[in-house]
Structure 1
């Protein structure tokens, strides 16, 4: 049950995180290239929302990860404690920078590039630190490096999967960010330059998806041989889920090329779901020699789970209602 909620809540977090980081990168590049303010202005008004949802929806999967893999994530977090604790400050700075970019968009045109650039760069740093922790927890054999560096500044830089895994998430965020902008434009019938913004977002989505597939194969071949082969016929369930993920990714690319926004969105959500499952399977394969979640002793406590489900449903409902109010008030269209 905990594994199910780990994947579910991680998918929700991932969708908002990708929309947030990808949109920030898009806006930064548009500002650098001196593009007209339309796409950047639209992005500026969405960033505070997406950051808030990203942070809040990131709590649950982290807690479920600690429940299932506590002895691994705690150790890796301690090994890079200095960087891990810095994430809090980096996110606060990111939030402030995004708010300044939004609320001072018209008043500080000369500083827009700086603040959206700062937002994007801080987001990239946070993502890099998370990738380090999530990979370091999978390599207990490297933890002895602590005895040579007890300062809490260890990073997993020698791991061959670190960079392809990191880029796999970053390029995916650009794809989802482009799709997010296209979806918002599609939903607003009276938006100025509506078709241009739809095409602009879908173009980002399509190009990034092509790159994402290539980076995904790099990530695959960077895995240890036994882990990689488990997704290439060595393990039937792993292989089937991996192939399904590739299939829906290809479908989303086709929809992107043909500019079919809503079908591309559905295919992308399915792709994120399958890839989140694959990510969990990769973690399981890495840790198989020393641990499996089924090794944990289960003491059923249903009341906390019921409370969690109630709060989760209420929270998602309140989030949807808040977005509805924001849209109705016209704040997002300012």
Structure 2
């Protein structure tokens, strides 16, 4: 069967597609930063050794009360990029999520469970005693499963030939397990989360040090995670690159000038981030990481274009101009981001007077 026959018809859009693509990348970067801090922070809180049953490791202590808030921010900041990708690639995303509907819908339940467990871990720490690690292990396991389902959905949507699996599995439990990019893509995501989670821990220590508190344990352990996971990411990233279809891989290795340039700049910025981590320049590490996440979000969009090139490009969408919704969205986005930034400032400064 011709895979293009399985692709649903597109809907018209109200403004040029580049607006949706750009805003999707912007909001996705914000979502990624919160999500990586949440996911990576949870893994670090699980792995770090505690000093004893009655005393928290300072890293675990600094993370315990912040992880539930990070979950809330991650979920809220994930709405906009999901909506933008649905506007442009809805006929692909909806199809992939319907094919794996059982797993896709379960994500809501899994995230809610993880959210409640994090609150339970934070406020019942002493009561949990020896079970505290078990609770955090459950949280990490839930996040790992959610990440795996998302990786499946994002790979399945860009490979229409895989949709033919529906004819042998109509139960809504189709996963893209035969795709050679699935595992490296998934690990690329997990390792990146651990790196950013480490940076988040280091930033918590940096802020404590500025408040004349002992933030050295957080800084040391956080930067160790950041640098080690960034090094691992070079290996996983190479695997991911080599797992791509040949024509897609070559697009980032010279065949497509823009894609190659973005990829090379991202590689250079990753080296800068690694240098900043090894030299304990926390703010430089943070700035270069934000830049790197932004560049990788662009690479992700370019990768999607390359995979869908035989079937679709956003420029194919029919334009029916109506700009007022875009203006309203941008206004509310600016105000909303300002409010979130102010809330984070208040939240992170909550203990300053203590």
Normalised to the residue count of structure 1, the TM-score between the two structures is 0.96
The RMSD of aligned alpha carbons is 1.7
Q: 2:76 aligns with which of 49, 56, 76?
A: 56
Distance in 2 of aligned mates of 1:138 and 1:333: 51
Q: Does 2:127 align with 1:113?
A: no
Matched, 1:299 2:317: no
Is the contact made by 2:64 and 2:121 (CA closer than 8 Å) also made in structure 1?
yes
Aligned to 2:10: none
Q: Quote the offset at 1:298 in angstroms.
A: 1.4
Render the CA deviation track for 1:206-249: whole Å, top value 9, x for unaligned. 00000011111110000000000000001111100000000000
TM-score by length of 2: 0.91
Q: How far apart are the structure 1 equivalents of 2:307 and 2:211?
A: 51
Structure 1 residue 8 and structure 2 residue 40: aligned?
Answer: no
Deviation at 1:33, TM superposition (A): 9.7
Stretches of structure 1 lacking an aligned partner (at least 5 in a row): none
Where does residue 96 of structure 1 map in the other structure?
Answer: 116
Q: Which residue of 2 aligns with 1:170?
A: 190
2:334 aligned with 1:313, yes or no? yes
Q: Deviations over 1:3-30 (max 9, x none)?
A: 1001101100000000000000001111
Identify the match of residue 256 of structure 2 among 235, 245, 249: 235
Shift of 1:319: 1.5
| 1:194 positional shift | 1.3
- Residues in 2 aligned to 1:33 and 1:133: alpha-carbon distance in whole angstroms: 41
Structure-2 change in CA distance of 1:36 and 1:106 (3 Å): closer
Preserved contact between residue 202 and residue 219 of structure 2 (Cα < 8 Å): yes
In structure 2, relative to structure 1, the CA distance for the partners of 1:121 and 1:150 (3 Å cut) is same
Tell me by how many angstroms 1:81 deviates: 0.2
1:76-111 alpha-carbon deviations (Å, 9 max, x no partner): 010000000000000100100111111112332322
- Which of residues 106, 122, 125 in structure 1 aligns to 2:145? 125
**Distance in 2, Cα, partners of 1:147 & 1:216:** 34
The answer to whether the Cα contact below 8 Å between 1:41 and 1:105 also exists between their aligned partners in 2 is no
SS in 1 for 2:270: helix
Cα deviation for residue 31 of structure 1 reads 4.8
1:207 paired to 2:228: yes
Partners of 1:105 and 1:271 lie apart in 2 by 35
Distance, in Å, in 1 between the alignment partners of 2:217 and 2:119 is 26
Distance in 2 separating the partners of 1:44 and 1:280: 34
Aligned to 1:86: 106
Aligned residue for 2:179? 159
The partner residue of 2:296 within 254, 275, 292 is: 275
Q: Which position in structure 1 is the counterpart of 2:214?
A: 193
Partner of 1:220: 241
From 166, 190, 194, the counterpart of 1:146 = 166
Deviates more, 1:311-320 or 1:140-149: 311-320
- Verify: 1:77 aligned to 2:111, yes or no: no
**Structure 2 contact 155–176 (Cα < 8 Å) conserved:** yes
Give the Å deviation of 1:191. 6.0
Q: Write the distance in 1 (CA, Å) between the matches of 2:263 and 2:305.
A: 14
The answer to whether structure 1 residue 136 and structure 2 residue 153 are counterparts is: no
In structure 2, the partner of 1:37 is 57
Q: Which has the higher contact order (CA 8 A, sep 6+)?
A: 2
Q: Structure 2: which 5+ residue stretches go unaligned? A: 1-18
How far the C-alpha of 1:327 sits from its partner, in A, is 3.5
